[in-house]
Structure 1
Amino acid sequence: MNVEQAGSLARTVVQLAAAYAVGRGWLDQSTAAEVGAALVTLAVTAYGVYVRRDEALKAAGDKAAAKAAG
């Protein structure tokens, strides 16, 4: 799953939950939209960081090895 697919899934799940909350009267529509957008942004950012963690660790290791060697 790439970041775009994760974002699409997150948006769908948040929209479903927000629609349910609005239907139950727990939130009004504008609050649900604002909270939903914030949650999707945080979820996609967290997923992007999680997916790229191995690349960052490898790059840091290569940099440390190059510094130690020369």
Structure 2
Amino acid sequence: VEGLVFSRFKVESLEKTGEGLKLKGKAFGEPLNLEKHPSKVEIKAVTYHLMEVKREDSRFLVRVLFDI
């Protein structure tokens, strides 16, 4: 996904497995254009620390922390 920026995400399914959670979804975005998308901070990684997945009615809320 290098060279792409994402603005919208759609979760299609979330299920528990013997190994944890399995999420299936789509990410919507466009090619990175530094004139349109100026860089402020580079993200090194997404962490599992304090990760949270909740279902509210017909929506899923996901909280992740980024290592910068």
User: Into which bin does the TM-score normalised by the smaller protein fall?
Assistant: under 0.3
Pair member with larger Rg? 1
> Which has the higher relative contact order, 1 or 2, with Cα contacts under 8 A spaced 6 or more apart?
1
State the TM-score, normalizing by the size of structure 1: 0.23
- TM-score w.r.t. structure 2 length? 0.24
Identify the structure with the greater helix proportion. 1
